[in-house]
Amino acid sequence: MTSTVLVAGATGDLGSRIVRELLGDSAHPDTLVRVLTRPGGGTARAMYAGEDRVDIHEAAYTDEPALVAALSGVDAVISAVSGTATVILDAQRALLAAAVKAGVKRFIPSDYSADYRRVTPGSNRNFELRREFAATLDAAPLRGTSVLNGAFTDMLTGQAPMILFGRRRVLFWSSPDQVLDFTTKDDVARVVALVALDADAPRVVEVSGDRVTARSIAQTLSGLTGTPFTPQWAGTTGTLSTMSKIGRALSKDKNATFPAWQGMQYFVSMFSGEAQLHHVDNERYGPHDWTSVREVVQAHLRRTAVQSA
Ligand SMILES: NC(=O)c1ccc[n+]([C@@H]2O[C@H](COP(=O)([O-])OP(=O)(O)OC[C@H]3O[C@@H](n4cnc5c(N)ncnc54)[C@H](OP(=O)(O)O)[C@@H]3O)[C@@H](O)[C@H]2O)c1
């Protein structure tokens, strides 16, 4: 059966991967994609103009009639927008209200994170924005499905400074044996596309491409490099939380989406265990080769070896 899925934020990193999955083999070949983008950018046209099954709709999140028009005839909305309160709360609430008005049946919010539902109030700004939007979604007369996936594995070799490759250390806070959930962006995108086409998807779908600890990551790196990597205590989650509060108080741009202090908050939520996933269902959409932490760091080591050769 033909499904029409609207993707908001389809010009972004995760959003573009989701569109690729909706057009690829894991989705039904009749799936139609609507890309919702804010006016004036031109990026969506540059990315999708040649795709037969993609329609581009430009609308500001403050323009309700334009949003409702873009959403009419849509079966499911995927939000992959990124930002702080003005995006996660204001833009997503406008999108949700328009979806309800247009008679859309299903909505997937831009969560794609560790489990934000039980984190201590004041401990993680980005998680608490998701929790606040989830309350709005819960009260809406349509079906919401959140995809929770832990941290993006890709960040281990980029923005998340947990592995000190040069110093052969893997940082941990409080415990080197705390289980940490990681899933690659591509694996998350596949699940999101499948959730959008799954009329029976529950309120939350949890996946974890790999479950590791600081200790197991150090062992993996020792094996891959042939030189010992050791777990390095970097403090407790309590001290990290205090540092993030100081960083936040001193920060100039309070609305940056991923400032360093928010990265610290992410580690606090993960290493305290508060954001660990407890209902992982990796089999929901059948067998899949989830990309492991080992594969991601191995690819990184190969790239850096080539660059330094
Ligand atoms: N679990 C993790 O470790 C992790 C890591 C990174 C990101 N994430 C999450 O994944 C999701 C997608 O992130 P991403 O990195 O793919 O995002 P991104 O590349 O920064 O972009 C997402 C899209 O959001 C739209 N957008 C930007 N500012 C907006 C605004 N003010 N109002 C409305 N729309 C706006 C843009 O689309 P248009 O310009 O086309 O409108 C943009 O292409 C977010 O929820 C993010 O927090 C999770």
Give the count of domains, the chain: 1
Answer whether 288's CB lies under 8 Å from 282's CB: yes
Q: What is the pLDDT of residue 302?
A: 93
Cβ(151) to ligand 1 under 6 A?
A: yes
Those residues whose C-beta lies under 8 Å from the C-beta of residue 260, and which sit 6 or more positions away, are 247
Cβ(113) to ligand 1 under 6 A?
A: yes
Tokens in use for 95?
């999108």
Cβ(11) to ligand 1 under 6 A?
A: yes
DSSP the chain: ---EEEEETTTSHHHHHHHHHHHSTTS-TT-EEEEEE-TT--HHHHHHTT-TTEEEEE--TT-HHHHHHHHTT-SEEEE----SIIIIIIIHHHHHHHHHHTT--EEE-S--BS--TTPPTTS-HHHHHHHHHHHHHHTSSSEE-EEE--EEGGGGGTT-TTEETTTTEEEESS-TT--EEEE-HHHHHHHHHHHHT-TT--SEEE--SEEE-HHHHHHHHHHHHSS--EEEE---HHHHHHHHHHHHHH-S-TT-SS-HHHHHHHHHHHHTSTT--SSB-TTTT----PPPHHHHHHHHHHHHHHHH-
Q: Which atom of ligand 1 is nearest to the CA of 150?
A: 1
Cβ(12) to ligand 1 under 6 A?
A: yes
| pLDDT band at residue 53 under the 50/70/90 scheme | very high
| pLDDT(5) > 90 | yes
State percent of the chain over pLDDT 90.
87
What is the pLDDT averaged over residues 199-221? 98
Q: With respect to residue 145, please indicate whether it lies within any of the assigned structural domains.
A: yes
CATH code of 117's domain: 3.40.50.720
Q: Which atom of ligand 1 is nearest to the CA of 88?
A: 45
Mutate to test the pocket of ligand 1, among 81, 191, 265 (most ligand atoms within 8 A of CB): 81
Q: With respect to residue 213, please indicate whether it lies within any of the assigned structural domains.
A: no
Q: With respect to residue 54, please indicate whether it lies within any of the assigned structural domains.
A: yes
Residue pLDDT, tens place only, 63-117: 999 999 999 999 999 999 999 999 999 999 999 999 999 999 999 999 999 999 9
Q: What is the pLDDT of residue 162?
A: 94
User: Ramachandran region of residue 294, left (φ > 0), alpha (ψ -120 to 50) or beta?
Assistant: alpha
Cβ(152) to ligand 1 under 6 A?
A: yes
| pLDDT band at residue 145 under the 50/70/90 scheme | very high
Cβ(104) to ligand 1 under 6 A?
A: no
Q: With respect to residue 79, please indicate whether it lies within any of the assigned structural domains.
A: yes
Residue pLDDT, tens place only, 239-266: 999 999 998 889 888 788 888 889 899 9
Mutate to test the pocket of ligand 1, among 82, 183, 266 (most ligand atoms within 8 A of CB): 82
Q: With respect to residue 223, please indicate whether it lies within any of the assigned structural domains.
A: no
| pLDDT band at residue 281 under the 50/70/90 scheme | very high
Mutate to test the pocket of ligand 1, among 6, 14, 129, 269 (most ligand atoms within 8 A of CB): 14
Cβ(83) to ligand 1 under 6 A?
A: yes
- Nearest CA owner, ligand 1 atom 26: 81
Taking the centre of ligand 1 as the mean of its atom positions, its distance from the CA of residue 13, in whole angstroms, is: 7
- Nearest CA owner, ligand 1 atom 19: 12
Q: Which of 227, 114, 234 is nearest to 176 (CA)?
A: 234
Quickly tell me which residue has 């997937």 as its tokens: 108
Cβ(39) to ligand 1 under 6 A?
A: no
Taking the centre of ligand 1 as the mean of its atom positions, its distance from the CA of residue 12, in whole angstroms, is: 6
Q: With respect to residue 201, please indicate whether it lies within any of the assigned structural domains.
A: yes
Q: With respect to residue 263, please indicate whether it lies within any of the assigned structural domains.
A: no
Taking the centre of ligand 1 as the mean of its atom positions, its distance from the CA of residue 215, in whole angstroms, is: 31
Cβ(42) to ligand 1 under 6 A?
A: no
Q: What is the pLDDT of residue 72?
A: 98
- Strand order through the sheet with 32-37: 54-58, 32-37, 4-8, 76-79, 106-108, 143-144
Answer whether 229's CB lies under 8 Å from 218's CB: yes
| pLDDT(221) > 90 | yes
Q: What is the pLDDT of residue 220?
A: 98
d(CA 6, CA 14): 14
What is the pLDDT averaged over residues 155-168? 90
Mean pLDDT of the chain: 95
At residue 259, what are phi and psi to the nearest 5 degrees? Answer: -70, 165
At residue 34, what are phi and psi to the nearest 5 degrees? Answer: -110, 130
Q: What is the pLDDT of residue 305?
A: 80
* Residue numbers of the domain that contains 281: 4-149+183-208+275-285
| pLDDT(309) > 70 | no
